[in-house]
Structure 1
Amino acid sequence: MQHATQVELLSKVLALAERSVSDGAAEPSSLPVSAYLDEERYRRERDEVLLREPVLVARSSEITKGAFLTRELMVPLLLTRDEQGRLRAFLNVCKHRGTQLVGEAAGRNRVFVCPYHAWAYNPDGQLRGIPHGYGFEGVDRACLNLTELPVAERFGAVWARLSPGPALDLDSFFGEALCADFDSFAIDDHVLFDPRDIRRPVNWKLTVDTFLENYHVAKAHQATIDHLFWPNLGSFERFGRHIRNYYVKRNLRELQGQPEEQWDLRRHGNLLYLLWPNTLVLVEPDHIDFSSVFPDGPLATRVLSHTLLPEEPQTEKARRYFEKNNEILYAALEEDFAMATRVQNGIRAGASERLWHGTYEVALRWFHQSLEQGL
C-alpha cells in the first residue's frame, strides 16, 4: 500500500483511539431475517449476482502452459491454458446430452472425450468429433462447441464470470484505488500455501458477515486472537461495491512519537478487503489470506481459502511458523462458524423479524445493500 495511504489510515485510527470510538455510520441499521432464510432469495443471489459477477476461481500459478483445471463452483468449470499462455474458461459440459465432460481435477491438455458418447473437444472448446456423426447432419456445429465464459487474470489470480457474457475489464471492476493497493502488495509471484476447501451448514452471507466487523472479536475469539486486537476499533471504507476495513492491533500506541516515514500499517493491524461479491482478503504482516465464499445451498456455505507467501519457506522452522499462523486463523474461523450456526438457529426460531447492525458494523450494511441492488 502506498505509504501516504498508510499514514492516512493510521492517523485516522489514532484519532479514533484517543476518542475511544470506532469508525462507522451515522446511525444503526437493520436487516430482515428473511435475507438469510428465504430459498427464493438464495436462488436470486446465486443466479443474479454470483453467476454474473467476476469471482475468483483459481490462482494463476495453478494452471500452467499446456494444462487444464476443473472446479465445481455453483457450475462445473473447465479452465485451459494453451502453450502460448492464453487462458480460457468453459462450462465443463458436453453439448450433446449435458454430461460433465472432464472428470479429473487437473492435468495436461489433450482432446477431451465425453465419457457418455465419446464426443471430443479440443482445449480451445471447439468440437473435434462426433462418433457416427451422420445422425447430427443439419445441426450447426458452431452451437455444439463448449460454452465459453469470460475470464481474466489480476492480482495473480484467475477471475471468471460463471455465465456467458462480455469480456472482463478487471481494472475497471476493481477500480483505481484497490488496484493500487493490490499492486503494492506485489502478490503476482507469491506462492500458494495450505489451500483448504471448507463446507459448513450455514447461509453463505452469515459467513461473510463474520469477516466484515471486529465488534465480535473480544467475546467470540477470546481463546484465539482477542489478545492481539484493540477492542472494537477499526476503519471502514467503501469503493463502489468493494470494501476495505482495517482492524487495529493493541500495539497501535507504538506509533506515538515515531516519525511518520517509519509507520507500517501491516504491523499495527490487519487489512480486510471484500472484493465484490464474495472474496475476502486478509492482509497480515508477512502473508495474505484469500477466502472465497460460495453458497452450497440455501442454508449451506463453501469457503475456498488459501494463503499467499512471498516465497516458499526455506527451512522447517519457517514452514512451521506459517503452519502455526494458519492453525490460529482456522481456529478463529471455526469460532466464527460456531457463532454463525447459533445465529442461523436463532433466526429460524422466529424470535424477531429483523437483525440490527451497530454504527461500527457499517460494512455489513454496505454488503447487504449491494446485494439488494444486484437483485
Structure 2
Amino acid sequence: MRHEVQVEVLEELLAQIREGRNADAGAVRACPASTWTCPDRLALERRELFDGQPQLVGLSGDLPSPGSFLTTDDLGPPVLVVRGDDGGVRAFVNACRHRGAIVEAARRGTKPLFSCPFHAWSYDARGALRAVPMAEQFGPLETGRLGLVPLPAAEHCGMIFVHPQADGVIDAPALLEGLEDDFTAFGFAEHRFALEDRLELELNWKLVTDTFGETYHFKRLHKDTLAQTFEGDVLSYRTWRRNHRMVLGKQAIREMAARPRAEWRVTEGGFPVYFLFPNVVINVSEGAIAVVRSLPHPTDPGRCTAQISYYASHRAPEDMESFRQGFGNVVVHEDLAAAAGMQRALASGRIDPVLFGRNEPPLHHYHQTFRRALGLPPLEAVG
C-alpha cells in the first residue's frame, strides 16, 4: 500500500473513532439460510466459482528457487506447480503418463527431476519425460508427447494462480483488480513461506470468509483477546467489482496520530485484510502475511477445509511461530468455533433468513458478489 493511501486509510479510521461511527453498507439485508446449507447451491458454486475459475495456490515465496515445487489436491485434479530453471512457474496434472500414478507425493520441496514411485518414469521442471526404465522392453514411445499434462499457470504481484481446466484462461491483472498496487507496495513477492495449518471444519466454506466480514463482533466475541489491542466498531472499507480491502483499527493508532504523518504506517495503526474472490482472505501484519483459503467440500455444504499459510519478509522463525499461534488461536477457537455453531443452527431450518447489518459491509459485498457470479438475484434491503 502506497504511503499516501496508508495515511488516507488511517485518517479515516481516526475520524470514525472520534465520531463514534463505522463503515456503512447503507441498509440491512436478509440472506437466506440455504446460502450455507443447500447441496444444489454448493454444486453450483463448485462448478462456477471453483472448477471453472483460476485459483490461488500460493505466493511466489512458495517457489523460492529453480526446481522448487508445490503440490495440491484442492483444485480437483492433483496438481504439481514448479519453478523452472528459467524462473517461470508452470503447473501440471500431478500424474504419470504411464498409468496415472501420483508423481510427487511431497507437499513441497526442491528437485531437479520428478520420478513416479510406481515405475520411475521421470520428468523435469518443464514437464518433459526424461527417463523410462527398461525402455527397450516396454516398447516404442513418442516421449515428446508424453510429458506431464500442463495446466494454465500465472505469477503476478507475488501471487501464483493455476486454472484447473487445461483449456482455461488466466487474466491475472483482472483477478487482482484493485489490489495490485497494495500487494506490490507490501512486497508480497519478497515474502517467503514459513508455516501452514490445514483445518477440517464442520461448516460451510463461506462461513470462513464471513468471519472476516466485520468488526462488530470484536468487543463481544474477542473481548479477552483482540479487543485488548484492536479498536472494535470501526473499519476502513473499499470495494472493487469482486475484491475488497478492509483495514481494522489498532489501539496503537491513537498514539501514532500524535506523530508526523510521514511516520505513519498502516501496519502499526491498523491491520489490512484483503478479500480475493472467491475464497481467499489475506491478512497483512508487520513483516508477515497470513493467507486463508476456504475450500468447499465436494458434496456436503456443512463441511469445508481451511488452509492457512504464513509468509515472512524479515521475521525470525520464532516470531513467525508466535504470529501463527496468536492469529490461529483467535480464528480457530473463537471465530470458527462460533461459525460451527451457526452452521448447526442454519442446518436445523429454524433460523431463516439471517441479517447483515449496515455496520457489516464486507458481508454484503461477499454475498452480493457470489450471487451475481452464480446468476442469482441480489439480496434485498429490509426494514
Band of TM-score, shorter chain: 0.7 to 0.9
Taking structure 1 as the reference length, the TM-score comes to: 0.87
Matched with 1:265 is 266
Deviations 1:6-58 (A, max 9, x none): 22212222222232110121101121111111112212212211233332213
Residue 114 of structure 1 and its aligned partner are, at CA, apart by 7.0
Matched with 1:361 is 360
Matched with 1:174 is 176
Secondary structure at the aligned position of 2:189 is classed as coil
Secondary structure at the aligned position of 1:220 is classed as coil
The question of whether the paired residues in 2 share the 8 Å contact of 1:94 and 1:114 is answered with no
Secondary structure at the aligned position of 2:193 is classed as strand
Taking the aligned partners of 1:189 and 1:53, their CA distance within structure 2 comes to: 26
Deviations 1:132-191 (A, max 9, x none): 457x99xxx95x65432111113333221222235433223213x411111111132223
**Runs of 5+ unmatched residues, structure 2:** 375-383
The question of whether the paired residues in 1 share the 8 Å contact of 2:62 and 2:192 is answered with no
Aligned length: 364
Which one is further off, 159-168 or 332-341?
A: 159-168
The question of whether the paired residues in 2 share the 8 Å contact of 1:224 and 1:328 is answered with no
Taking the aligned partners of 1:338 and 1:320, their CA distance within structure 2 comes to: 27
Matched with 1:290 is 291
Residue 331 of structure 1 and its aligned partner are, at CA, apart by 1.0
The question of whether the paired residues in 1 share the 8 Å contact of 2:158 and 2:183 is answered with no
Secondary structure at the aligned position of 2:210 is classed as helix
Secondary structure at the aligned position of 1:218 is classed as coil
Taking the aligned partners of 1:82 and 1:26, their CA distance within structure 2 comes to: 49
Taking the aligned partners of 1:4 and 1:361, their CA distance within structure 2 comes to: 26
Residue 368 of structure 1 and its aligned partner are, at CA, apart by 1.4
Which one is further off, 153-162 or 228-237?
A: 153-162
Taking the aligned partners of 2:110 and 2:4, their CA distance within structure 1 comes to: 45
The question of whether the paired residues in 1 share the 8 Å contact of 2:25 and 2:359 is answered with yes
2:324 is matched with which residue: 319, 323, 326?
326
Secondary structure at the aligned position of 2:206 is classed as helix
Taking the aligned partners of 1:77 and 1:303, their CA distance within structure 2 comes to: 18
Q: Does 1:217 align with 2:218?
A: yes
Taking structure 2 as the reference length, the TM-score comes to: 0.85
Which one is further off, 357-366 or 218-227?
A: 218-227
Which one is further off, 123-132 or 79-88?
A: 123-132
The question of whether the paired residues in 1 share the 8 Å contact of 2:288 and 2:315 is answered with no
Residue 120 of structure 1 and its aligned partner are, at CA, apart by 6.2
Matched with 1:84 is 86
Which runs of structure 2 are paired with 1:1-375 in the superposition (5 Å)?
1-63=1-63, 64-75=65-76, 76-94=78-96, 98-105=100-107, 106-110=109-113, 112-113=115-116, 115=118, 123-126=125-128, 132=138, 146-175=148-177, 177-297=178-298, 298=300, 299-311=302-314, 313=316, 319-334=317-332, 335-375=334-374
Give 1:173's aligned amino acid. Answer: L
Give 1:338's aligned amino acid. Answer: A
Deviations 1:244-276 (A, max 9, x none): 001112233335554333322221111110111
The question of whether the paired residues in 2 share the 8 Å contact of 1:56 and 1:158 is answered with yes
Residue 123 of structure 1 and its aligned partner are, at CA, apart by 4.4
**Cα gap change, 1:37 to 1:152, in 2 (>3 Å):** same
Residue 312 of structure 1 and its aligned partner are, at CA, apart by 5.1
Secondary structure at the aligned position of 1:289 is classed as strand
Give 2:329's aligned amino acid. Answer: A
**Cα gap change, 1:82 to 1:285, in 2 (>3 Å):** closer
The question of whether the paired residues in 2 share the 8 Å contact of 1:236 and 1:245 is answered with yes
Taking the aligned partners of 2:268 and 2:122, their CA distance within structure 1 comes to: 53
